[in-house]
Amino acid sequence: MQALIDRFFRYIKIDTQSDPENEDAFPSTEKQWDLAHLLVKELNEMGMSEVSIDENAYIMATLPSNVDYKVPTIGFIAHMDTSPDYTGTNVKPQIHENYDGKDIVLNAAENIILSPDYFEDLLLYKGQTVITTDGMTLLGADDKAGITEIMAGMEYLLAHPEIKHGKIRVGFTPDEEVGKGAHKFDVDKFGAEWAYTMDGSTVGELEYENFNAAGGKVIISGKIVHPGYAKNKMVNSMTIASEFINALPANEVPEHTEGYEGFFHLHTMKGEVEESELYYIIRDHDMKIFEERKVLFQKTADDINSKYDGNPIAVEIKDQYYNMREKVEPVMHIVDIAEEAMKNLGIKPLIKAIRGGTDGSQLSYKGLPCPNIFAGGHNFHGRYEFVAAESIQKATEVVVKIAELTARKYKN
């Protein structure tokens, strides 16, 4: 357990926040290289084979098969970057051993409290070792817990050759949090028949459905005039921006939806009289409804433009990824193996749809079916993020067990 915690801390203390504004660069931030170089060093030191890192910071390595019969090559994948939504600079992890089910004071000076009254999932980890921040940064369990679990799983298999397994590939990607983590992932080079992303939350999560996703950028142009002489002349872009925001369905937002319900999420806005910018993510599990959402988004702009001279609103919509279910259902045995691995370890599988996406979403459409497995963290992308050390340990055990079960199932 302590070795897992030490490894996790080593990774989260490296700032790897990605940048959605730096669209053309891979990775989008230079600091992601800091973790990438450390991982390459550690993969080599533990004895992994075919360790490589390319010009875009994609890392791949191999654990060779230790059986004398053919087993499909499988993979495990996690991403190195952390969310651009909240700072990952100077992460100061805190350990709360034998968590008592009460409020956790993250930062007394700032009165920042992680409470089970608000975050009820905390109570799932009563009696366990809960890891948090000091309330001033995110933690980075998304997805450095996943990296920890894959690295520790490979190290364990190398140290225990009595556990039989086929060839295993591991991959670590940049820029997942800005929607392009799989853009330059070389599926042919990776060479696996299927893989698993270690990027879920609660212990037991096993997911092969996710949102269809698009990003929506809205630019509103105005006209700046001295406010004392602005009648019939000023066009305040922020006023038009608020009109656009209010024209979308009020209840179809993340804070009012759950399960398979989609949404429009305004995550960033910037504004002055002369120009305002709105950045949305558009999500739905159903492809037909997803397409209808994009049409409505554009129509909202068109309707408002018809009321003003000069068409002040310009909209850009870009698809980001699609529901992996279509690509995974034809090979459902890969989900069955993960489910069986969890059951063998006494973990209750929680098979559900992701209200988000993973690298596996895009990889599935690139020819690498890629369900998602829990990494253990909660409250991603903010100061209240936490993970139990026991969850990291369980996920590591799942990695090992999947490798073992896959080899066993293909034994003659």
| pLDDT tens column, 199-249 | 999 999 999 999 999 999 999 999 999 999 999 999 999 999 999 999 999
* 291 and 170 within one domain: no
Which pLDDT value is given to residue 358? 81
Quick count: other Cβ atoms within 10 Å of Cβ 379? 21
Same domain, residue pair 134 and 159: yes
Summarised one tens digit per residue, pLDDT across range 18-49 is: 998 898 899 999 999 999 999 999 999 999 99
The pLDDT of residue 320 is 87
Whether 159 and 229 share a structural domain: no
User: Which of 321, 344, 376 is the C-terminal boundary of a domain?
Assistant: 321
Prediction pTM value: 0.89
Whether residue 291 lies in the annotated active site: no
Do β-strands 275-284 and 263-271 pair in parallel, antiparallel, or remain unpaired? antiparallel
Catalytic: which of 19, 176, 205, 404? 176
Domain around 270: 212-321
Q: Please indicate, yes or no, whether residues 331 and 191 belong to a single structural domain of this protein.
A: yes
Are 148 and 273 part of one and the same domain?
no
Instruction: Based on the residue annotation, tell me whether 81 is a catalytic residue of this protein.
Output: yes
The answer on 312 and 272 residing in a single domain is: yes
Which position among 15, 19, 42, 81 bears the catalytic label? 81
**Chain CA centroid to CA 230, Å:** 46
Strand-by-strand arrangement of the 94-96 sheet: 94-96, 130-132, 386-388, 377-378
| Reported confidence tier of residue 145, pLDDT bands at 50, 70, 90 | very high
Domain end call among 275, 306, 321: 321
Residue at which a domain ends, from 304, 321, 338: 321
CA nearest neighbour of 121 among 410, 374, 403, 397? 374
**Domain CATH number, residue 263:** 3.30.70.360
Q: Please tell me the total count of domains within the chain.
A: 2
Sign of the C-alpha dihedral, residues 302, 304, 308, 313? Answer: negative
Rounded CA separation 156/7 (Å): 14
- On the question of pLDDT at 412 being above 80, the answer is no
The tokens for 361 are 């979403």
Is the pLDDT at 173 greater than 90, yes or no?
yes
Together in a domain, 329 and 291: no
Residue by residue, DSSP assigns 30-54 as TTHHHHHHHHHHHHHHHT-EEEEE-
pLDDT for the residue numbered 179: 84
